[in-house]
Amino acid sequence: MEIAYRPELWQNVFVVMGSSSAALIGLLFIATSLHLNEIIDNPYLRRRAYNNTRYLLMIFVEALLILFPQPMLILAAELIAINLFGLWLPLRNTYTYFTNREGYRQAGWSIYRAIVFFIVFLLGILAGVVILIGHLNWGIYLLAASCVILVVTVVLNAWSIMLGVGQLENRERARK
């Protein structure tokens, strides 16, 4: 079994991850700026849009870290730290949800989405631990899976935010 980390085999995967997350950050800024008042006025939508940006930045940074030539020990520590921070975001949102369920429901919050975020960041932490302890190639597979799932989830989350904004706009038009 091959246990050497061979970044040349993963270069294109993480170039795509970094590029797609950077492009999605730009699109998220554009979509948010088109509906800025609705997002700013709703603290739940604002937090979700902000967290989406954080998640995409985390993917971008992870992709860069994989592409940087560096010792495996440092890479593993960086991946664990980033994913621990990432895990903190859905934990905080879940805790806050239980203090104001109605506001979160109106903003489209879902426990299922939170569970997906938990799994994504646990996969990222596990990837860092596997790389740290075993220098095993399958740690990179875990990280790639984590990044792909996170990109898909962020895109679906952004769509949900835009639906929430549309509902707010429809309610406002109905009042007038």
Q: Considering the domain boundaries, does residue 2 fall inside one?
A: no
Q: Considering the domain boundaries, does residue 1 fall inside one?
A: no
Q: Considering the domain boundaries, does residue 144 fall inside one?
A: yes
Short-list 98, 88, 155, CA closest to 122? 88
Q: Considering the domain boundaries, does residue 155 fall inside one?
A: yes
Range of the domain at 75: 7-175
Q: How many domains does the chain have?
A: 1
Q: Considering the domain boundaries, does residue 46 fall inside one?
A: yes
Q: How confident is the prediction along the chain (176 residues), in pLDDT tens digits per residue?
A: 454 556 677 788 899 999 999 999 998 888 888 878 878 887 777 888 888 899 999 999 999 998 888 888 898 999 999 999 999 988 887 887 777 777 666 656 677 888 899 999 999 999 999 987 876 678 888 999 999 999 999 998 888 888 777 777 777 778 87
Per the CB < 8 A criterion, the answer to whether 127 and 146 are in contact is yes
- pTM for this predicted structure: 0.82
Q: Considering the domain boundaries, does residue 12 fall inside one?
A: yes
Nearest-angstrom CA–CA distance, 146 and 122: 9
